[in-house]
Structure 1
Amino acid sequence: MTRTPAHTTTSITTTTTAGPRGFLTIGHTVALPVRRRSVVVALVTVALILPAAVATLTLGRLGIPLADLPDALTGGARGTNAFVLERLRGPRLAVGIGTGAALGLSGALFQSVTRNPLGSPDVIGLGAGAGAGAAIVALLLPGTVPVPVGALAGALLAMALVYVSTGSGFRDPGRLVVAGIGVAAIATAVIQYVVYAVERDRAAVLTAYVNGSLAARDWDHAATIWLILLVVAPLTALIARRLDIGEMGDEIAAGLGAEPRTTKTLAVLLSIVLSAGAVGVAGPIAFIALTAPQTAKRLTRGSGPHLTLSALVGAVSLVLADLCAQQLPLFEGLPVGIYTMAIGGVYLGYLLIREWRKGVL
């Protein structure tokens, strides 16, 4: 008797106006929604990350000479090149890619659940809440609780406050924005209290942290965010198809067996873990979670959460912003979060105006 070996297949099951669409199946459990245009855009995004990474490692006074980079990356770095790769820019780059991916994926999950382009961890105060939790743990309770745990606790509390204060969960965009602003203000007040409650030198360190920074990161920070991604990413893959079906509405999703309530709960929890992990290693870097999923959606011109592409767009966005923070003379040395806040604030204003014109707000 001959057994047919199990194998992984990719097939196109439906066709939409956004182009051919199907599912990449892995075994009998995971089915990832795939569009040809999405694959092309993802490959282009990866291609953008590579030169940005090379520029991060090579540009500037302490940059590794381009001719020496291949040798350095294969273990042949010596002297200054080894110091830059192993202590300065290598960890910074790894943390930047991982944090950007985590924020992009977090935003995509949350926006898919709320079906709201304003439903971002930034807008509803999760980033600020996570920052407050991390600040309390790091400076008032040093060594007692890991910083990422404090960030997670702060994010959960912020989400709970927003959910209760809107009176309608995450469904109403106007209430969501107002409640998020209030929760963010409370979290910011907590952070400011912590700043003034500790001695001045530690407060200066916190000031850079709460704006979101990739400076002075090490391999432990990189390991933390990549471990979170490795744990959470497979779980998001398990619910990717359900999230895609959920875009058609809860009643249809329930009829198709997508279990919308369970899927939404899991997606929100995963989003919070990703956001809190990012804050734990780099501080509350603003608006990557808001803009990356929207950028991914516009690039693919299709519906759906676009989880993988959102993560890639988030990674390349943060790496490019950090490259500007390192190399632009006028703003050299500023925390990368200031760059993302400036760009994201403009985009948030655009979204608010658009939603208002549509009569949603």
Structure 2
Amino acid sequence: MTVRELPVRDAGTADGPSPAGPGGPRGRAGRPKGLVRLGPVAVAVRPRAVVVALGLLALTVVASVATLTLGRLGIPLAELGTALSGGAEGRDAFVLERLRGPRLVVALGTGCALGLSGALFQSATRNPLGSPDVIGVAAGAGAGASAAALFLTGTVPVPVGALVGAVLAMVLVYLSTGTGFRNPGRLVVAGIGVAAICQATTQYVVYAMERDNASALTAYINGSLSSRSWEDATTIGLVLLVAAVPLLLLARPLGAGEMGDDIAQGLGAEPRRTKTCAVVLAIVLAAGAVAVAGPIAFIALTAPQVAKRLTRLPGPHLLLSGVTGALLLVVADLCAQQLPLFENLPVGIYTMAIGGAYLGLLILGERRRGRL
């Protein structure tokens, strides 16, 4: 460690205060930049991160309002406030309570869960291109949904089959590595192998099923938010609520882990345990998202990287990744509902387009900088 690396540790992360030793400097002159004391509690405040968070929240609100108001069935903007306060009647009540209201809440919750899941996974593996999709969560969900649709028709709902498939894929990855979730390299390699097997299973089922049923299944395994209900919204809300406390507990150890295992261990963190807990929590969040919306691609991969590049700060950026994921999915679903290209096109196809465009821009930027 060189002298130049010391301010990075003092600066902390965007998700929590920097770990300060009891003998560190005190007073205004010795206080790390951006550290605000509220009584006995020290809170790290980064102006750029605050501005980015407020901007993302504002864009999410705008996209949410557009989702409820645009189109032939949209609620007039002048009446939206009354509708949201419980005064909706007739068609507006039907649209808000049965059509677009649950769909919007599910999109917000699912996007947030996927963004958090991707941030946890990328921080644990230290791989900016890592996501739960890479280790087979989405592919396992698709295989489980396919198996339920073909072999257990009328017995097991397709979303339950997807959830079981995702969990079984993760169990298989866990056993295949020989070290559980502690070795990022083995985790990615095992995940790619399990994903390939699951994708082969899905393609076989789609080929074997009748065309009408196969079309419905294809829409689900690409990720869909159509016909969502308040039960789905409650499910993803409970997943986020359960994950809230572990996320708060993991924020500081993950931030310390960004500086390397040796430094993290010197600061009192346990890198192996932190990585394992982060991957497990990422799988829980991804599985919850899959259960309500199917395997939606690229949100978990893209959202954490967008958040990190907007803030230009070190750290896992958990909160900003969740907000970014919610914004991306709401915008993608708005395109799925309003663009006159195809009717009821699965939202997962739009997220693939967004993710592909982002990766293309990333590659061009890296080439201009001479890194590729």
Q: Same fold (TM over 0.5)?
A: yes
Match of 1:45 in 2: 56
Match of 2:194 in 1: 183
Counterpart residue identity of residue 236, structure 1: L
| Contact 2:173-2:190 at 8 Å conserved across structures | no
Match of 2:346 in 1: 335
Shift of 1:216: 0.9
Name the count of aligned residue pairs. Answer: 341
Distance 1:181 1:262 in 2: 23
Counterpart residue identity of residue 96, structure 1: A
| Contact 2:143-2:162 at 8 Å conserved across structures | no
Q: Taking structure 1 as reference, are residues 113 and 204 closer, same or farther at Cα in structure 2, changes over 3 Å only?
A: same
Shift of 1:33: 6.1
Match of 1:206 in 2: 217
Shift of 1:276: 0.9
Q: Taking structure 1 as reference, are residues 211 and 261 closer, same or farther at Cα in structure 2, changes over 3 Å only?
A: same
Counterpart residue identity of residue 300, structure 1: T
Query: Structure 1: which 5+ residue stretches go unaligned?
Result: 1-9
Candidates 100, 124, 143, aligned match of 1:113:
124
Shift of 1:144: 4.9
Match of 1:56 in 2: 67
Shift of 1:345: 2.5
Shift of 1:21: 4.5
Distance 1:264 1:70 in 2: 44
Counterpart residue identity of residue 153, structure 1: V
Candidates 165, 170, 190, aligned match of 2:184:
170
Equivalent positions of 1:118-129 (< 5 A) are 118-129=129-140
Distance 1:21 1:202 in 2: 57
Q: Taking structure 1 as reference, are residues 284 and 245 closer, same or farther at Cα in structure 2, changes over 3 Å only?
A: same
Counterpart residue identity of residue 217, structure 1: R
| Contact 1:134-1:154 at 8 Å conserved across structures | no
Task: Determine helix, strand or coil for the equivalent of 2:184.
Answer: coil
Q: Is 1:97 equivalent to 2:112 in the alignment?
A: no
Match of 1:36 in 2: 47
TM-score of the aligned structures, taking structure 2 as reference length: 0.81
| Contact 1:91-1:218 at 8 Å conserved across structures | yes
Q: Is 1:79 equivalent to 2:75 in the alignment?
A: no
Q: Taking structure 1 as reference, are residues 348 and 11 closer, same or farther at Cα in structure 2, changes over 3 Å only?
A: closer
Counterpart residue identity of residue 184, structure 2: F
| Identical-pair percentage | 62
Candidates 305, 318, 324, aligned match of 2:316:
305
| Contact 2:18-2:44 at 8 Å conserved across structures | no
| Contact 2:17-2:43 at 8 Å conserved across structures | no
Match of 1:253 in 2: 264
Query: Structure 2: which 5+ residue stretches go unaligned?
Result: 1-15, 21-27
Distance 1:57 1:212 in 2: 21
TM-score of the aligned structures, taking structure 1 as reference length: 0.83
Equivalent positions of 1:130-145 (< 5 A) are 130-137=141-148, 140-141=151-152, 142-144=154-156
Shift of 1:215: 0.7
Counterpart residue identity of residue 333, structure 1: N
Shift of 1:358: 5.0
| Contact 2:110-2:326 at 8 Å conserved across structures | yes
Q: Is 1:325 equivalent to 2:336 in the alignment?
A: yes
Distance 1:137 1:32 in 2: 48
Q: Which moved more, 1:220-229 or 1:19-28?
A: 19-28
Shift of 1:137: 4.1
Q: Taking structure 1 as reference, are residues 38 and 56 closer, same or farther at Cα in structure 2, changes over 3 Å only?
A: same
Distance 1:185 1:215 in 2: 27
Distance 2:342 2:58 in 1: 27
Distance 2:71 2:176 in 1: 43
Distance 1:343 1:67 in 2: 31
Q: Taking structure 1 as reference, are residues 98 and 147 closer, same or farther at Cα in structure 2, changes over 3 Å only?
A: farther
Task: Determine helix, strand or coil for the equivalent of 1:330.
Answer: coil
Distance 1:268 1:210 in 2: 23
Q: Which moved more, 1:188-197 or 1:146-155?
A: 146-155
Task: Determine helix, strand or coil for the equivalent of 1:112.
Answer: helix
Shift of 1:138: 5.7
Give the root-mean-square deviation of aligned CA atoms: 3.4
